[in-house]
Structure 1
Amino acid sequence: MTAADPNRCRIVLIAPAGLSAERFGARLHQAVQGGDVASLMLPANGLDDASFQHFCEHVVPIAHEAGLAVIVEGDTRIAGRVGADGVHLETGVTEIANDIERLQARMMVGVGGAKTRDDALELGELRPDYIFFGRFGYDTRPEPHSRNLALGQWWAEMIEIPCIVMAGSDLDSVIQVAATGAEFVALSNAVFGDGIEPRDAIQRANALLDERAPRFEA
């Protein structure tokens, strides 16, 4: 992996649906050879608990060996069992508040699901470690969703809690996300889609960010 540039938007990878643990693990290993990746998010993607835990058990060591933080969606028990670094929650505010209080001392707790500024502010009041603007599996168009870009830009300008914004299926969309001021850009189909070489995709995404992403103030 290349050295990270902490002063610009960094990449978060999201595991897509439809790949076995072994197949995704191999593609993840290829991806991290392409350069800097900050972390990996593992959605359940419709798997039952046993299948999801098997998936995570196989993938987490690969990610950790590459220096990635791993965030597991939804199931705090599975996150603990597989040694994940964090959990991603999109449940009700009360449940998220309880989980943050219970878990945040030992792992990251991030949140998502906000569709409006009010939603985002309500979640922000709980002081999660990050907020995610986007939906798992919905990066099917080349460009990012306009609502996610708008929320990410507003959030980055107003709130200190880091945000992750979902990019589109075209690698060039990382520039649109970086322009919002978001700390992280999430990539899934743009890296792991059919016919894509993950290593080359990550290399190109980092080159685009190095060249065109705005730098954060020290």
Structure 2
Amino acid sequence: MSEEETPNRCRIVLIAPPAGAGDAARIEAALSGGDIASLILPDYGADEAAFQDYAERLTPLAQARGIAVIIAGEPRTAARVQADGIHVEGSKSELADAVRKYQDRMVVGCGGAKTRDDALELGETQPDYIFFGRFGYDNKPEPHPRNLTLGGWWSQMISVPCIVLAGTDIRSVQAVAETGAEFVALGAAVFADGADPARMVTGANMLLDLHAPAFEDR
């Protein structure tokens, strides 16, 4: 989390793009754009060695700004790069195992829920957050309606924080914030070809400052 003043409203979780030319510069530019709660690094199917190299390059960039880094891949990679947490996409038993093994020393979050029943099953393991959406599937201007619906329901009913994936239009952060979700995930909206990552993050924060409901004390 940022060491600066933390906004009392929905905050940004940045989803890193797949490894590629200039990825560190693009990430660093995005991180300079304003408040970001955390950076999630998905492995996107890369082999363990390649993903570890990617994570080793990017993790210090975020942590130097007080931004937590979450590894969505092999937990061993998170330990090796000294990340702040892991993201689990798997069954309830896999998540429960990760919570048992790692939650005493790092954040353990999860994704993969497509229904309320899925979400409640995963929530029984008491992860640190639940993510509604799929990495790389923010391919339309607006957030997926199912993710908005699940995020709104979850935020009203469950104390575990949730992250909802926004769309490719930076203005879609407003729709996510209006659900009551604690965090809005931005990926393609920030890192699309031709986008200015710093400007996109700055713009998203301005929209959240203007339109996101303030949280009551939690």
Query: Structure 1 length as normaliser, TM-score?
Result: 0.96
Runs (4 or more) in structure 1 with deviation over 6 Å come to none
**1:93 alignment partner in structure 2:** 92
Distance in 1 separating the partners of 2:5 and 2:188? 22
**1:117 alignment partner in structure 2:** 116
**2:47 alignment partner in structure 1:** 48
1:61-109 CA deviation, whole Å, 9 max, x = no partner? 1111121100001311001000000000011211211110111000000
Where does 1:150-169 land on structure 2 (aligned, <5 Å)? 150-169=149-168
Distance in 1 separating the partners of 2:3 and 2:109? 26
**2:145 alignment partner in structure 1:** 146
**2:67 alignment partner in structure 1:** 68
Give the counterpart letter for 1:150 in structure 2: T
What's the secondary structure of 1:11's corresponding residue?
Answer: strand
**1:28 alignment partner in structure 2:** 27
What's the secondary structure of 2:176's corresponding residue?
Answer: helix
Deviation of residue 18 (structure 1)? 5.1
What's the secondary structure of 1:174's corresponding residue?
Answer: helix
Structure 1: gaps spanning 5 or more residues? none
Distance in 1 separating the partners of 2:78 and 2:6? 28
**1:16 alignment partner in structure 2:** 17
Distance in 2 separating the partners of 1:58 and 1:144? 30
1:126-166 CA deviation, whole Å, 9 max, x = no partner? 00000000000000100000000000000000000000000
Distance in 1 separating the partners of 2:93 and 2:66? 33
- Alpha-carbon RMSD: 1.3
Distance in 2 separating the partners of 1:180 and 1:50? 38
Name the % identity: 57
Structure 1 stretch displaced more, 84-93 or 23-32: 23-32
Count of residue pairs brought into register by the alignment: 216
Deviation of residue 19 (structure 1)? 2.3
Distance in 2 separating the partners of 1:5 and 1:130? 18
Preserved CA contact (<8 Å) 1:17 1:137: no
What's the secondary structure of 2:143's corresponding residue?
Answer: coil
What's the secondary structure of 2:170's corresponding residue?
Answer: coil
Give the counterpart letter for 2:50 in structure 1: S
Deviation of residue 47 (structure 1)? 0.8
1:163-211 CA deviation, whole Å, 9 max, x = no partner? 0000000000000000000000000011111001111111100000000
Query: Structure 2 length as normaliser, TM-score?
Result: 0.96
Give the counterpart letter for 1:11 in structure 2: I
Preserved CA contact (<8 Å) 1:174 1:185: yes
Distance in 1 separating the partners of 2:58 and 2:51? 11
Give the counterpart letter for 2:203 in structure 1: R
Distance in 2 separating the partners of 1:166 and 1:196? 18
1:12-62 CA deviation, whole Å, 9 max, x = no partner? 000122524xx2211111112211011000000121111000000000011
**1:105 alignment partner in structure 2:** 104
Preserved CA contact (<8 Å) 1:33 1:199: yes
**2:186 alignment partner in structure 1:** 187
